[in-house]
Amino acid sequence: MNRLLRTALLAVSCGGLVAAVLPAAAQDYYAGKTIDFVIGGNPGGGFDIYARALARHLARHIPGTPAIVAKNMPGAGSTKAGVHVSTIAPKDGLTLGAVTPGAITGPLLDDKPSTLFAANKVQWIGSANSSTRICATFERSKIATVADLFTHRTVIGGGSYGDATHDYAHMIRKTTDAKIDVIGGYKGTLDTTLAMERGEIDGMCGWDWSSAKSQKPEWIRDGKLRLLLQIGATADEELTKLGAQPLWKYVKGDANREVVALIVSQQAFQRPYFVHGDTPMEYVGILRKAFDAAMADPQFRADADKMRIDVSPLPGATVQELVQKFYATPKDIVEQGRRAIRP
């Protein structure tokens, strides 16, 4: 198992971190204020669903109960939102960001660091979910089984560079013998599922399983979604019962396995939230403590169950550590990872 994922699993098993005692002035800071929650995804997508669920419950756990206003800022695989919160927004703890794991890995794996989000220089508040992703086709596609994926030309739809549905499709194409053609440019997973229904494409890879269950439960219930591959550090019991095969069975060679392990490690911090890197640590502490409390809140959990989203949170300090370790990956593995997710 990748060392980043081992660290994440250990953190979950040990429980959340104990928050430091804060001075009275800090405890009163958020009273009467408004927090902007900038979501780097399109409305209705998986990241939007999670972030808005958190926004509905987080304020109750922040002293002073500030208002929280969710705002969508999609673009560049959520990097646009990441750059806004980390460089343009005030450093006052009143702007939260929600970005995809691809925005975190992009500065390491992309060729244009000057335009990207510096994920190792912000303060992470926590992550609501660590995940398994899927490669699946729709019922009208001729690709009905895992074997078909490796014997017939398969058209997979995805987002832009940095989106999991783009990068994972190329990763699978380059590290296995899957006969995949990738069509990028779809605006989020809902747009891609519409293309699946219209027959423009066969399916999607890198789709988060919890998002699929929330967005298209009827497809799963009625057997319209053909679950071919599951992508994660370990096998997911639910997906295994549904017949999805682990990607690891089809990755060619040890070098490719290292590359896949690097890219898949981002799933340990699947729904991460952050503030500007220069935010005073007393405010960071308040938000981290509130996030941990919200994740355990029965009202939040009931809301999550209603929306069919999985919650397996990581505390902010753990996400901070995982991001730093990711950025310490050896350069040769990073270069191979870059090549794996390029068209």
Q: Domain holding 185: CATH number?
A: 3.40.190.10
The residue among 120 and 343 whose pLDDT is bigger is 120
Q: Do 22 and 112 belong to one domain?
A: yes
What is the per-residue pLDDT across 297-343, written as a single tens digit (0 to 9) for each?
Answer: 999 999 999 998 899 999 999 999 999 999 999 999 999 999 999 88
154 with 242, same domain?
A: yes
DSSP assignment of 67-133, as one string?
EEEEEE---GGGHHHHHIIIIIS-SSS-EEEE--HHHHHHHHHSS-GGGS--GGGSEEEEES----E
Q: Tell me the pTM.
A: 0.75
102 has pLDDT over 50: yes
* Radius of gyration of the chain, Cα coordinates, nearest whole angstrom: 19
One domain, residues 250 and 284: no
Average pLDDT, the chain: 90
Q: Single out the residue in 265, 282, 313 at which a domain terminates.
A: 265
**Number of structural domains, the chain?**
2
The DSSP H or E segment spanning 340 is helix 331-341
Residue 7 pLDDT greater than 60, yes or no: no
Residues 316 and 238 in one domain: no
Q: Are 156 and 143 in contact (CB under 8 A)?
A: no
SS3 (DSSP) at 180: strand
Cβ–Cβ < 8 Å for 131, 310: yes
Residue where one domain finishes, among candidates 265, 282, 302: 265
Has residue 15 got a pLDDT over 60? no
**219-242 per-position pLDDT tens digit:** 999 999 999 999 998 899 999 999
Choosing from 265, 284, 311, the residue where a domain stops is 265
Can you give the pLDDT at residue 24? 54
Which pLDDT score, from 0 to 100, does residue 112 have?
63
33 and 120 share one domain:
yes
Q: Which domain holds residue 248?
A: 133-265
Structure-token pair, residue 230: 């599951």
Same domain? For 261 and 272 the reply is no
Both 156 and 206 in a single domain? yes
CATH code for position 290: 3.40.190.150
Neighbours of 36 (CB within 10 A): 18
